Amino acid sequence: MHDDEAERQELRRVLEAMAREQTTVTYRDLCELAAIPGPCRIQRITELLEQIIQEDLAADRPLLAAVAISRGHAGIPQRGFFQLLQSLGRYEGPDDGPDAAAFHRDELELAWAYWGCSQS
């Protein structure tokens, strides 16, 4: 049984710290830093990141989840990040390749600027 709220808040705290440092973090490292228990930790992180994306969109904030990237996916999030944003009307384009990388880079820079300057 997972404590969604506590896990999501801890994940958000870690992501905000990464954004303030203007860096990214892999899903695997994020599991460790946010102390997400196994099994299926990557799947759990993905579910929590999707919740954070929806929270940020509802609050009209940059996408904090852009800080989380796949180790083996050219330094961008997995396809599910792009697919979710497509389904929510935030992104139109492929879920891989140069267009996805450019979109991610824009979102990442917005997140770095927002959490680096306006949050404590």
Res. 117 pLDDT band, cuts 50 70 90: confident
CA 98 from centre of chain = 19
Structural domain spans, the chain:
4-117
- pLDDT of the residue at 72: 78
d(CA 9, CA 33): 13
Record the tokens describing residue 2, joined without a space. 């997972």
Residue-wise pLDDT for 16-74, tens only, equals 999 999 999 999 999 999 998 888 898 999 999 999 999 999 999 999 999 999 987 67
- Look-up of token digits 């460790």: 32
d(CA 25, CA 46): 13
Residue-wise pLDDT for 86-111, tens only, equals 999 999 999 999 999 999 999 999 99
- pLDDT of the residue at 3: 75
- pLDDT of the residue at 2: 60
Q: Report which of 111, 106, 118 is spatially closest to residue 25, judged by C-alpha positions.
A: 111
- pLDDT of the residue at 110: 97
